Homo-oligomer: A and B are copies of this chain.
Amino acid sequence: LGIDINNPEFVGEHFKFVRASFLKVDLLDKDQVENILSSFRPDYILHLASYSSVAYSWKHPVSAFVNNSNIFLNLIDQVRILALPCRILSIGSSEEYGSVQKENLPLREESVTKPSSPYAVARVSQEMLSQVYAHSYGIDIVLTRSFNHIGPGQRELFATSSFAKKLIIIKHDAALQRKVTVGNLEVVRDFVDVRDVARAYHLLLHKGKKGEIYNICSGVGHSLKQILLMMMKMEELDVELIVDPELIRPEENNFVIGSNDKICRELGWAPKIPIEESIRDILKFWDDQLQNPN
């Protein structure tokens, strides 16, 4: 929503409670970035613009890299050149950790990064750039490694949202086959509700330590299969799961579970929304969308 230059979406339902104005800026265009920064002179930059789909990055590695690492570098370099006294939140990803053995879980900030997808490489690059800018140029950057977000409103490019939409479509159309196409359902992820993530980002912008990395996660793992079964149970639906080899990725991290000890200890953050509530809200979101398309 609103983070893709080709398809920005700044109006309508999602932003009706937001008192803000929006501008479309190509973050790859140095001059545009310079103009907006030097005229607006922000105190805080919450940099969420990113091609954040691992699946997309396998198909379009160059575009994924450029629209993560390069847009971020353009932004922080203009902050450096303009010498803006401004705090930047650099969003990283649990994907940076790569494939780990179960015995090395949960993932902690000091764990080794071993990026195994183009997306993950882009995120580690962004993190390394952030460290250089924070430690050597003195730019005020706080970093995250954010785990898998879920929540109402998420694009169906992401598994949880895609599952929910498929189930709701089947639920509303008795003529449809009770079948859902899926990828590898065995992968375990640490899902955290986007509303808890938003609270964490707000805290980090105000109280995070410069140059430090913070995991944002629930600390609990669920397989995609568990998520799907939870949804089927809530909707009282029984569907057959068909594995599509096209949806199996060249390289997959089987277990991703993080530790949120650091942000809990240092900033008092803790996730508040249990996964059942997230799932229920996601199903409700698609139910509303599909019944009242606007």
Q: Which residues of A contact B (CB under 8 A)?
A: 30, 58, 61-62, 65-66, 69-70, 73-74, 77, 80, 112, 115-118, 121, 124-125, 128-129, 131-132, 135-137, 250-251
Which residues of B lie under 8 Å from residue A136 when comparing CB positions?
58, 116-117, 250-251
User: What's the minimum C-beta distance from A93 to chain B, rounded to whole angstroms?
Assistant: 14
* Residue in B closest to A113 when the chains form the complex, CB atoms: B128
Residue of B30, B66, B116, B128 near A115 (CB, 8 A) is: B128
Could you jot down 11 A-B contacts, CB within 8 Å? Answer: A61-B73, A61-B77, A61-B80, A62-B73, A62-B74, A69-B125, A70-B70, A112-B112, A115-B128, A124-B128, A137-B250
Which residues of B lie under 8 Å from residue A70 when comparing CB positions?
65-66, 70
Whether the pair B132, A117 counts as a contact (CB closer than 8 A) is yes
Which residues of B lie under 8 Å from residue A74 when comparing CB positions?
62
Which residues of B lie under 8 Å from residue A129 when comparing CB positions?
61, 65, 118, 121
Whether the pair B77, A73 counts as a contact (CB closer than 8 A) is no
Most buried by B among A30, A118, A137: A118
Q: A65-B73, A121-B125 are in contact. List 9 more A-B contacts (CB 8 A).
A: A61-B80, A61-B129, A65-B70, A66-B70, A69-B125, A70-B70, A115-B132, A117-B136, A136-B251
**Complex CA–CA separation, A174 to B58 (angstroms):** 63
Which residues of B lie under 8 Å from residue A250 when comparing CB positions?
136-137
User: What's the minimum C-beta distance from A73 to chain B, rounded to whole angstroms?
Assistant: 6
* Residue in B closest to A77 when the chains form the complex, CB atoms: B62
Which residues of B lie under 8 Å from residue A251 when comparing CB positions?
132, 135-136
Which residues of B lie under 8 Å from residue A77 when comparing CB positions?
61-62
